[in-house]
Amino acid sequence: MPDKPIEGEKRVFMTGNEVVAWAALVAGAEIMYGYPITPQNEIMHYWTRLAPKYGREFLQTEDELSAGFTTVGGVLAGRKAFTATAGPGNTLMQEPMSMAEAMRLPTVVVIQQRGGPSTATVIYSQQEVTMTTLGGNGEGLRIVYSTANHQELFDYTIKAFNTAWKYRFPTFVLGDGYQAKMRESLTIYDPASRGIELVEAEPYFGKPGVPGVDRPPTQLRNTYNVEEELYEVLEGYFRDYQKIAPEVAEHEAFGLEDSDLVVVSHGVVSRACKAAVKELREAGIKVGYFRPITLRPLPVEAIRETASKARQFLVVESAQGQLARLLKEAAFGCPVEMLDLFKPGVGITAEDVVSRVKEIVG
Amino acid sequence: MSVQPAMPKSWRVDTKPHKFCPGCGHGLVLKALGQAIDELGIQDRAVFGCDIGCSLLAWDFFNVDTIQTHHGRTTPVITGLKRANPNLIGIAYMGDGGGYAIGSQHLVNAAARNEKITVILVNNTQYGMTGGQMAPTTLPGQKTETTPYGRDPEKTGYPTQGPEMVAAITREGAYVARGTVANLRQLKNYLKKALENQMAGNGFSFVEVLSTCPTNWRTNAEETWKMVEQELPKYFKVGEIKVPGGQKEGEANG
């Protein structure tokens, strides 16, 4: 059995779903649990072809509830475990992920967003932002990376396993149907060859010794008897989350220094926005570009700083204001005006953004 | 020094007395399970998963690694754990609502896939923790909070026959039985065989246990015992239903 899935690095031309499977392999994922739903299916297809060659496992479950809860079980056994889903499957996934939040379990879930609400389209959207960042009956104690291209899908899937096991919050890679199905060039690599150290998984259950004799038993609960008991646990979680948020939060930006108008977007839409902003700047129109890479936690300081200098934000997304709501909360009190270009469940081109900006600046 | 009742070695003594209502059957099931764990010497590698419902109160019951899951979701959690580390002995412990209603798809599919786990389902004919509503196992005519005039099978069906269903969808290698808290020696024997079946890697093992709920049945001690010993077996036949490659209890010399 070959030791490493990738030696050094390799230039490839792949679909995003294939990229995710390779990234999970090199990140040391040991088991995937999954249930078919478009547009994430090929993650399972590639994983089931690659996994046996490297001693990794797969289980096809009866639904996404089971895919999420078996992932929880895999993590409890001390394995790097993950699943992938989309749309209505993401809805079901919120139940197991709320348990992962309650117990601080390092599950990794890859979401390839599709149209909503309901079954809608199998194609594409950015309509799973609210659910992925704040879903479940909880407080959003999770980490969400929104990727824009295949290189990032590879980089951030590896990173997601490290972040999850380092900080012990459930971690999501938020892609979409375009990224899932599109073929693109990227460099895949052995993380060690880039100096990326993989965080080791460790078992919660089945540690050496007899519980109660050689060691205390590991007993994890999510149910509390009194309000104060729950409050104390959550206060601890919020403190931890607040502490790690600045370490985890990421964003990219350019052209902010001289711009009154800043185009804000995330994920694959940020590619259109980046191209549009470059084109507009070359034409002498001063527009800035800002993109949160983590949607949870958001890069709040950077958003507030930008929102304090700029006069207007143009929020561009393939949803009816799901990113905009997060931004409004983060920028609350800043004097920035929020303008929008929302196309729920529909792709956005650089031309769309350019014409919207021209409409605004006149 | 006061005399301590004999407790299984695998029980966590500092959490006793346990949290179940007086007359509840859970304590008896967990005693039989504790004895089975002791006799098999698997305290160090058993993982106990408890559902939501009254079974959630068992989250600190044993000196065994324990996970409290969601309502109906103990089967997939233990399945995922066992798949990820087959050396562990996975025990999924749930009630009749968790196993036969909200979690029935997990039970059916885990059984059909022949997952190498042990599911113990405690049947007390109604939802205890939420205050005594109708369950899939409620007897015809039985009064509950959502069948205040008695369960009408025309409108709500007949009691779910869980072990019979599991036996029908499992193949060779599965162990399926129905025990009762009215016969603890037999129950311990069934639980032990179920766990041994998992340890041998044969396949899925499932034990339903007929149990008591005097709080929601609103029965006194005598009525409670009559219900579990005489009434429940009229609908739920006690015994081994499927034994891998061997003889069922009592058939050895038959």
Q: Structural domain boundaries of chain A?
A: 9-194, 251-361
**Cβ–Cβ contact A218 with B under 8 A:** yes
pLDDT for residue A76: 98
Looking at beta carbons, which residues of chain A come within 8 Å of B108? 62
**Cβ–Cβ contact A137 with B under 8 A:** no
pLDDT above 80 (res A284)? yes
Mean pLDDT of A332-352: 98
Mean pLDDT of A331-343: 97
Domain A251-361 matching CATH 3.40.30.10: the answer reads no
Distance from CA of B21 to the nearest CA of A (A): 15
Q: How many CA atoms lie within 13 A of A251 on its CB side?
A: 23
**What are the residue boundaries of the structural domains of chain B, listed by start?**
19-242
Tokens 């470059």, residue?
A278
Query: What CATH architecture is A9-194?
Result: 3-Layer(aba) Sandwich (3.40)
Q: How many contacts (CB atoms, under 8 Å) link A and B? A: 136
Which residue in chain B is spatially nearest to A214 when comparing CA positions?
B44
Which residue in chain B is spatially nearest to A61 when comparing CA positions?
B109
**Cβ–Cβ contact A60 with B under 8 A:** no
Q: What is the pLDDT of residues A123-164, one digit of tens each?
A: 999 999 999 999 999 999 999 999 999 999 999 999 999 999
Asked if A268 contacts A184 with a C-beta cutoff of 8 angstroms, the reply is: no
If one looks up domain B19-242 in CATH, what number appears? 3.40.50.970
Looking at beta carbons, which residues of chain A come within 8 Å of B45? 206
pLDDT for residue A1: 65
Between chains, do B80 and A217 touch, taking CB under 8 Å as contact? no
pLDDT for residue B249: 74
pLDDT above 60 (res A257)? yes
Please name the member of B60, B62, B68 whose beta carbon is closest to the beta carbon of A222: B68
Between chains, do A96 and B73 touch, taking CB under 8 Å as contact? yes
Looking at beta carbons, which residues of chain B come within 8 Å of A223? 52, 56, 59, 68
**Residue ranges for chain B with pLDDT beneath 70:** 1, 246-247, 250-254
pLDDT for residue A272: 98
Looking at beta carbons, which residues of chain B come within 8 Å of A211? 43-44, 62-65
Q: What is the pLDDT of residues B105-151, one digit of tens each?
A: 999 999 999 999 999 999 999 999 999 999 999 999 999 999 999 99
Which residue in chain A is spatially nearest to B38 when comparing CA positions?
A210
Distance from CA of A80 to the nearest CA of B (A): 9
Is the ipTM, as predicted for this complex, more than 0.90? yes
Please name the member of B43, B47, B69 whose beta carbon is closest to the beta carbon of A99: B69
Please name the member of B69, B78, B83 whose beta carbon is closest to the beta carbon of A31: B83
Fold agreement between A9-194 and A251-361? yes
